[in-house]
Chain A
Amino acid sequence: PPAHSHRDWIGPPDKHSNLRPVIFYVPPEESALERRLREARQEAQASNQRFWARHNRAFRQEKEEFIYSRLKAKGLEMRDESGQKATLNAEEMADFYKDFLSKNLKKHLQYNRDWYKHNFKITFLMGQVALVRALRWLRRRKKNVEQ
């Protein structure tokens, strides 16, 4: 994002977490409230990024391991003669999906709680900041009218 910009910038989805990173603009006269909002958003972003990157990586890895172990049990190699990677069909993968979901359920429940807390906090702070800005703008307009 350009250095002179006065706004936040959002980027393409991250390779691991699929979340879009945001670069936050720090205005020179940032109020305490605005700083709290920015920090809350940064914290949420970091926490989300950590969770999903790790989670997706674990998924990919465990999926590979599952495919490998199943193929070995069937007596097949990971790659066949033509060099193509051997795969399992959807019904065989279903066991893996079921297993993975139940293993990670508790992790997800915890994450859900955290995410909802972050989300509400950020939105509430946004509301406060918007209200303060609106009042400031109204006060400035009143001053201009009076002058």
Chain B
Amino acid sequence: GLFVWRLRSTGARQIPCRFVHLYHMASNRLITFQYFNFLKRMYVTQCNKDLSQRAKPKSDSIVSPFHELQQLDQEKKVVHKISSVSPVHQSWSEMSSRNELREMKSAAETEDSVIPGGAESKEDRQWKEMKLQLDDLPGILARLSKIKLTALVVSTASAGFAMAPVPFELTCFLLASLGTGLASCAANSINQFFEVPFDSNMNRTKNRPLVRGQISPLLAVCFAAACGIPGIALLTLGVNPLTGALGAFNIFLYTCCYTPLKRMSIANTWVGAVVGAIPPVMGWTAATGSLDAGALLLGGILYSWQFPHFNALSWGLREDYSRGGYCMMSVTHPGLCRRVALRHCLALIGLSTVAPVLNITTWTFPVISLPINLYISYLGFRFYRDADRSSSRKLFFCSLWHLPMLLLVMFTCKKSVLEKEDKGKLRGGSHEMAMEIRLP
């Protein structure tokens, strides 16, 4: 059915209304549609929750623009960190951590510290018994596995699955999504396990379960194993070994490469972008069983997207990164940070043009996607030139709707499987074509 998404005006960043029209257009394309809505709804609800909890201190005249950013960042970050899931830089864990929003305090501009919402901080100041509360366990595990980020990662993987030029198989799709989701949970849990003291020191992450002592590190590791092993097994045995291998590799890349690298060199951003790019590739290989050019293109699009997304976000978090000891381009090589963001915005235009060449989409795709790609490139250029908070915020928020839009348009322009086969060579058997998603 049609999902009606209502914009709640709370002063939060409002996503342009023109997308509502697209919803109607895509009413029968449930996958990307739901993903898109879910994404938007999440941002709006996050913004609402966030703003309602915040008590504005009188000295702080600047409405923390990054408050929403923090929440979104959190989400994004989660996405990024999820190694096996969506390529969204943030989506997995880091980038994927769109989910993780850091509390932006431009320390240089406000002297007093921002006091978070009342109830939360009061609870925070009490001594708590270190006992595992079974009632809270689902919530704790959800936060440990960065469930929202995991969801975003799974949706990018399903985008990859949907774009593959094969008839749609529901069981394969569900197994691939479940396996990817489990792998993502595992990777996120291990990431949080590694980063406890650093998370305590950053405003965005200081309420995580391990930081608050709600769960023991042993339990976190056991949970990660309980998710990761079945997840990868499911992918290897239930889908195909290639997808399983990619999932396992992504978990490794995220937990053992990206997480330690964050504190050692700026190369972490590129590794993280790969982490974000792998989930749609996994979706594609789950559907087709092979690594075609199409899979790499989709991965490439998500890889490139990570940079404007993450670089713009990290621009506002330089203080926390500096104090926390994280090596990020925005702190150490600010010029490079902006150049790379712009470069990859432009690369998105190029990659969108390659899609029809590889027979993944029709030629309408580069045409329709050109406006949004040009817009993000324009914002990337403004960020490059101005290098200030407002341009970085604009770029970041644009990236949030740009990716779902791009994937949606890509899906609507997907080259139908039937078009590619000769009419005479149509394979019989309705069961093969039964689940195919038809374009209008």
Contact = CB atoms under 8 A, between A and B. Distances in A.
A93 B124 CA distance: 30
B334 interface: yes
Interface string A98-121: 101110110011011001100100
A59 B218 CA distance: 33
15 contacts: A5-B129, A8-B129, A8-B130, A19-B201, A52-B201, A63-B107, A87-B109, A88-B108, A94-B318, A98-B334, A105-B327, A109-B263, A112-B263, A115-B197, A119-B194
B264 interface: yes
Interface string B139-175: 0000000000000000000000000000000000000
Contacts of B200: 13, 17-20, 52
Interface stretch (A28-36, A123-131, A134-142): A123-131
Contacts of B217: 119, 122-123, 126
B388 interface: yes
Closest 6 CB pairs of A and B: A97-B322, A10-B213, A108-B325, A93-B108, A126-B218, A8-B130
Contacts of B331: 94, 97-98, 101
B129 A12 contact: no
B322 A100 contact: yes
A109 B216 CA distance: 25
B129 A90 contact: no
Interface of A: 1, 5, 7-13, 17-20, 22-23, 48, 52, 55-56, 59, 63, 67, 85, 87-94, 96-98, 100-102, 104-105, 108-109, 111-112, 115-116, 119, 122-123, 126-127, 130
B393 to A, nearest CB: 12
A12 B127 contact: yes
Given A18-B201, A97-B331, A100-B322, A9 B127 contact: yes
Nearest to A102: B332
B211 interface: yes
A138 B217 CA distance: 24
B373 to A, nearest CB: 29
A127 to B, nearest CB: 6
B197 A98 contact: no
B218 A101 contact: no
Given A85-B111, A109-B264, A119 B125 contact: no
Interface centre among A20, A90, A115 (most CB of B within 10 A): A90
Contact of B197 (A9, A52, A67, A91): A52
Contact of B127 (A11, A85, A97, A119): A11
Nearest to B198: A115
Nearest to A107: B325
A20 B213 contact: yes
Given A115-B197, A119-B193, A90 B211 contact: no
B323 interface: yes
A98 B333 CA distance: 8
